[in-house]
Structure 1
Amino acid sequence: MKKATLAVQTIEKRIAHADHIVAGIPSERQLAEELGLSRNTVRIAVQHLMEKGVLVRQNNGRLNVAPNHGPKLRTLCFLAPSGMSSDADEWRQSVEGLLGGVFHGYDVTLRTATQGHWGDPVIQEVLSSFDGAFFLAPAEKIPDWLAVKMRESSCRVVVLDQDASAMGLPSVVLFPPSSENKLFDHLYNLGHRQIDCLNTQEKGAVVQARMAVWKEYITSRGLSGQLHSLEKRKPVESAYELIRDTLHDGLPLAPALFCTTGPAAIGAMRALYEGGLKVGVDVSVCAVNGEGIGRYLMPTLTALESPPRSLYLRQASEWMINGGEWRGPLLIQPEDIPLFQGESTGPVPG
């Protein structure tokens, strides 16, 4: 294969995968360095693509994709907080699977980007460059000023894992706060009248709602329980340290422990084991989300399990790809969440 042909194919592949939207078309010098080719070879490839109407050179000398080149390509972005979790990976894989399955054959491409804070310029770049964005929200509530930008942007934004429908943004939530009552009813039916809450996530909108449901449940049923909270960057380790220190210091711990997340439950169960307590016998542990691994832990973790995400992402994908108005309620969420009853919960100790 001629080197110029290789350069042509490489540039065309980048355009097909929407690389130019994120970083633009590199200069001839940059392309030569990246491909290990001479600038003259790259210049021949660029000239060929300009003659084909694929590339145009702007007045400042920079290369760009011709406005009317090829069929209309829908460019979508999966935008997540930096340091993506296993749950973020599941969201991303669900979007990719949906686009590659149900929407196979559509002229659409998906890119992944991460942001570190609300003022991160990556967010503005996504809003100004892409046709649609799946925005996986961090723990904190989306600021009003950013919600306005999202609504007014030509980029169609759908918020994942946080209910931003009151801000006028389509949202997909898999675990409505009220679904936690399944966990509490399960513990109650096992005879538990003391249920503590363990949280090691930042107290954002989602976690605050989960703790509020726990508090409301124990109050309405006349139960007792206390909050154990340690907000750090590593939720598994934080949960382990918090429960380990609680046991070591002889502080009270209820015979039932509700964890706001799966990672908190995993850390807590390890600390209980090392403390000589048997999970599911001495202390029952349950969590909102089994993170896809709850069934495979030892002991298996009682948890609410995520329904197939693709079922709730389809409408959002259609809206981004096909255009038109959003139909129906802005909030998409399951009516019922399956509860996996694992070995980590059992009757209240006698």
Structure 2
Amino acid sequence: MASTLHDVARLAGVSIKTVSNVINDYPHIRPATREKVEQAIAETGYRPNRAARLLRSGRTGLISLVMPDLRNVYFAELADDVMTAAAAHGLSVLIEQIRADQGPAGELEVVEAAIQRGVDGVLYSVLALRDEDVAELRRAPVPLVLLGERIFGGPTDHVTMQNVEAARAATEHLIERGSTRIAALGAHEGEVIGSAGLRLRGYREALEAAGLPFDERLVPPGGTWFRSDGARLMRQILDSGVEFDAVFAFNDAVALGAMRVLQEAGLRVPHDVRIIGFDDLDETRYTMPTLSTIDPGRRLIAETAVEFLVERINAGEGGPAPREVEVPFRVVERESTAIG
């Protein structure tokens, strides 16, 4: 039979209330008493009924992560980082996906569905939501923390990466190695606020600072940032005959698709064309050649967002004013941009 609180209390020589206080991490317990209880728990094999504890507290121990398509490997790895960070707080994660074709209204429906599952809070990686939709977020009955680039100065905490600064650093990395004709793959026509628009801005800022001209022929718009998009855009540039000596791809998947097409065309990376991506996916360490990239601080984004959410869950109606956090990034140099 499973051991009980009574068994632990009897073996430790303390009251059931003391055992309960130790299990619930009550702060005012003498170290010697805590040690006796923990030893008794280990010897009896007692396992607290987590479901009952959560029921008494009015919580589920679940948070929801609402994010774009998990076929984009960045979001799959971000989800893994979020689950790891949540587990450290004793939380489990339910994942809801947003489709690119749903639009703002459909996106809000996904968030609402996540809330209806009875979660304690929501991490929401905004895809298409606009500033005018922010009022809907204020009505959320549970704490909510935003990820991504779409909403700044919103009604709650927002954790994101330094898209403009990191893209500028990636482009400068190529310029410092002698590249002067740099293609940029992954731009979205007319986009300003999203990741593509911000990374294009960083690319243009680096060119301007270096006195290099912006050539629209080197920035073909398009794509959903999969490998197939990188391959298609690279073929488009090659077919056009425009000269280039480097590529800044707006994510690693686009970079990998482009690198395959460059190699098929007989161009050597990095000898003929240097290439750098963005995201620092795990697979970039094992490509041939290994891919230089931007580490945008994905793990820190996950950890910070979870910490903010847990803080708001515990604070109830209170809590700090909304916070905006852009985590630090770093340029990761590998073989695809190596000198010599």
2:184 is paired with a residue whose SS is: strand
How far apart, in 1, do the equivalents of 2:57 and 2:240 lie? Answer: 68
Once the two structures are TM-superposed, the CA of residue 124 in structure 1 deviates from its matched residue by: 2.3
Alpha-carbon offset, residue 328 of structure 1: 6.5
- Contact 1:200–1:264 (Cα < 8 Å) also in 2: no
Deviation digits for residues 193-252 of structure 1 (CA, Å, limit 9, x no counterpart):
2222111668461110110111122123211343433423462112212212332x3521
RMSD of the TM alignment (CA)?
2.8
Q: How does 1:212-251 map to 2 (within 5 A)?
A: 212-226=201-215, 227-233=218-224, 235-247=226-238, 249-251=239-241
Q: State the partner residue of 1:327.
A: 320
TM-score relative to the length of structure 2 = 0.72
Partner of 2:105 in structure 1? 119
The match for 2:133 is 146
Distance 2:242 2:78 in 1: 37
Rounded to whole Å, the distance in 1 between the matches of 2:110 and 2:63 is: 14
Q: 1:151 is matched by which residue type in structure 2?
A: R
Distance 2:56 2:261 in 1: 58
Letter in 2 for 1:276: G
Structure 1 counterpart of 2:200, from 205, 208, 211: 211
Are 1:340 and 2:332 matched, yes or no? Answer: yes
1:73 and 2:62 matched: no
Aligned residue-pair number: 275
Partner of 1:317: 309
Percent identity over the alignment is 19
- Contact 1:77-1:111 at 8 Å conserved across structures: yes
Is the 2:187–2:221 Cα contact (8 Å) retained in structure 1?
yes
Match runs of 1:27-46 below 5 Å: none
- Closer, same or farther in 2 for the Cα pair 1:184/1:328, shift >3 Å? farther
Q: Is the 8 A contact 1:164 1:170 kept in 2?
A: no
**1:298 to 2:288 alignment:** yes
Q: CA deviation at 1:154?
A: 1.7
- AA at the equivalent of 2:105: G
Contact 1:194 1:255 survives alignment (8 Å): yes
Map 1:237-316 → 2, pairs under 5 A: 237-247=228-238, 249-307=239-297, 308-309=299-300, 310-316=302-308
Residues 282-316 of structure 1: CA deviation (Å, up to 9, x unaligned): 01111222223222111111111143334423432
1:90 aligns with 2:81: no
Q: Secondary structure at the match of 1:333?
A: strand
In the TM superposition, residue 171 of structure 1 has moved relative to its aligned partner by 1.3
**Shift in CA distance, 291/200, structure 1 to aligned 2, threshold 3 Å:** farther
User: Greater share of helix residues, 1 or 2?
Assistant: 2
Distance in structure 2 (CA, Å) of the matches to 1:200 and 1:270 = 20
Q: 2-side partners of 1:311 and 1:145: how far apart?
A: 28
Residue deviations 1:10-35 (CA, integer Å, cap 9, x gap)? xxxxxxxxxxxxxxxxxxxxxxxxxx
Once residues 98 and 181 of structure 2 are traced to their aligned partners in structure 1, the CA distance between those partners, rounded to angstroms, is: 40
**Of 133, 144, 147, which aligns to 1:160?**
147
Mapping of 1:128-143 within 5 angstroms? 129-138=118-127, 140=128, 142-143=129-130
* Mapped partners of 2:55, 2:277: distance in 1: 51
Runs of at least 5 residues in structure 2 that lack an aligned partner in the other structure: 1-53
- 1:339 offset after TM fit, Å? 1.6
The answer as to whether partners of 1:198 and 1:257 remain within 8 angstroms in 2 is yes
In the TM superposition, what whole-angstrom CA distance separates every residue of 1:143-193 from its partner, at most 9, and x where no partner exists? 234321112322222111225232233211134421233222322221222
> What code does the residue aligned with 1:315 have?
E
| 1:169 aligned to which of 144, 156, 162 | 156
> Is the 8 Å Cα contact of residues 163 and 171 (structure 1) preserved in structure 2?
no
SS in structure 2 at match of 1:79 = strand
Q: Using the TM superposition, give the Cα deviation of residue 262 of structure 1 relative to its aligned residue in structure 2, in angstroms.
A: 0.9
User: Residues 20-72 of structure 1, C-alpha deviation per residue, up to 9 Å, x if partnerless?
Assistant: xxxxxxxxxxxxxxxxxxxxxxxxxxxxxxxxxxxxxxxxxxxxxxxx95332
Q: What is the identity, as a one-letter code, of the residue corresponding to 1:71? A: S
Task: Answer yes or no: is the 8 Å Cα contact 1:200–1:238 preserved in 2.
Answer: no
Residue identity matched to 2:266: G
Task: Tell me: CA distance 1:329–1:220, structure 2 relative to 1, closer, same or farther (3 Å).
Answer: farther
Partners of 2:325 and 2:154 in 1: how far apart? 14
Distance 2:329 2:323 in 1: 20
CA distance in 1, matches of 2:140, 2:147: 18
TM-score (norm 1): 0.70
